Structure formats: structure tokens, C-alpha cells
Amino acid sequence: MACVVPIWLGGVLAYYLTGSFNLYLFVFTLLPALAIQIATNFFNDAIDYKKGADTKRRLGPKRMAGTGALAPESLLVAGIAFLMVALTLSLVIVVERGVILVVIGIPSLFFTYGYTGGPFPLAYRGMGELFVFIFFGLIAVSGTVFVQTGIWSNESFLLGGQVGMLATVLIAINNARDIDEDKCAEKRTLAVRFGINFAKFEIIFLCLAPFLMGALWWFVFSNAKLALIPLPGMLLALVLCCYVYQTAPGKRYNTFLGLAIVTLLLFAVLFTLAAFTQ
């Protein structure tokens, strides 16, 4: 879902800005993103298991390597296969929009593995949130708008920032939930580095800031609808913040993860309604 929403909203914003929408280009933007997301999940599953960050004590949803359903080596091969699928499918939009998409795409493909693997695994260095914010927010939204319109717009970076923060909530909740297990595996997430209180306030900030940033649609881009119509989603974000603030890390954070996904979806639906409201 974290890869679908930014592509979806990038398409919505492109139509809002230009009045046109190319379904063919949209499909070949979405499919490589899905393939990259699947590859990342396979790599994370295998590498976390090998590094001891995914054990039978895992509080989050069970994974294939940790439960013995698939060997880590099989997951790595599957990840490489989906990377090749992503690379092949993305050639369509590269042909349409040029080499700049190669410049963006190469780091995306590299960090699919480098998120948990390689000499500098981002997730093990406390950079997981930054990765998600950039690649599942700023780049995904602005890149989709560029593919549709051929333009890098300020509006796309604002929306990318909003979506990026809401997507980053997901990884922040995961890291808060897994803080004890990650400590044992020497996975130095921000939650491990700075403690659970920091992790909780990080989640609260990431939940609320996107809705407050919405004021920029009104004051900078003179569009009150894009600022106001998504605001009801902030009520659910506030509920999530209260739960996180009051609850110690544990399995209940899986429920909070579900609420974060619903918050992201609700924002997407409300923003879409705002963009199409006359």
C-alpha cells in the first residue's frame, strides 16, 4: 500500500494540474513500483532472518524465513527476479521521459537490497524513515507527476512530503514495536538509538504534520479545497497518536499499524475528492 498511494496521488495531482491523464504511462509507473516493493519485502525477510532481527519471538506479522516457509536463499532469488521485472517494465517510462528517470531509478533499485543488506544497510543505521520519506513520498509522487506531465512541480513536492510522512509512520510504528528485538540484533533504528519516548513522539509528529502542512495549499497555491477537505483525516491520526502515546511496545502496535494504513488511505481518498471537487 505504501507504494500504491503515492503513485495514485501523483496521477491525481497530474490531472489536477493539467487536465490530462495517460493511463498507459500510469500503469507502467505503478507496476515497476509494485515489483520493487515486493522485491524489497523478499530481501528484508531473508536478510533480517540471517542477521537475527527476525526470530520466532517476532511481534509483527510472521515472515516466510522466520517461520521456515521458505529458505532465505529462495527469498533472495525471488527478490532478484522481481528487481529484473521492475527494471524491464520501467523501460516504457524511460523511453517516454528520458534519462532522468534512470538517474532516479538506479538508487531505487540499489536500495531495494541496500535497505537491509550490503555494506551500509539503511535500516540498521537508523535511516529507514529517511529512505521511506524520500522514495515513497517525494520521489514517488513527483516522479509520477513528471511521467504524466514532463514537469517537476512544486505542488508535487508538497504532496510528496505529506504522503511521505504518512508512509513513514508505518516504518516508525514497526521500529517502536520491535525495539527490544532490534536491540538484540544490533539493528540501530531511531527507536533503538534514542529510546521509546523519542519513537512515540516521532510517530505523533509524522501523523499530524502532513495535515498541518496542508495549509500550504491554501497560502502558497491559493487552493483552500486541497487544504481543508483532507483535514477530517486528522481526527483518525489523533486517535492513533493517543493510542501510541499511552501504550508500551507490544503486539497491540500491529493494530496501530492497521490504523496508520487506514489514515494513509483516508488522506488519499480525501485529497482525491478535493482535487475533483469543482
Give the separation between CA 195 and CA 207, rounded to whole angstroms: 19
**How many angstroms separate the CA atoms of 9 and 2, rounded?**
12
For the segment 4-58, what is each residue's pLDDT rounded down to a tens digit?
A: 999 999 999 999 999 999 999 999 999 999 999 898 888 888 887 777 666 666 6
Domain boundaries, the chain: 4-276
CA 116 to chain centre: 15
The alpha carbon torsion through 101, 223, 136, 259 (nearest 10 deg) reads -160
Closest CA to 258 of 161, 190, 173, 165: 173
Q: How confident is the model at residue 183 (pLDDT cuts 50, 70, 90)?
A: confident
The alpha-carbon radius of gyration of the chain (Å, integer) is: 19
Question: Per-residue pLDDT tens for 59-92?
Answer: 656 666 666 666 778 888 888 999 899 989 999 9
**pLDDT(1) > 70:** no
The whole-number pLDDT of residue 186 equals 82
* pLDDT, tens digit (0-9, with 9 covering 90-100), for 136-166: 999 999 999 999 999 999 999 999 999 999 9
User: Which percentage of the chain shows pLDDT scores above 90?
Assistant: 62
In the numeric block, which cell numbers belong to residue 275? 482535487
- Residue 191 in grid coordinates: 527507536
Q: What is the rounded distance in angstroms from the CA atom of residue 191 to the CA atom of residue 14?
A: 36
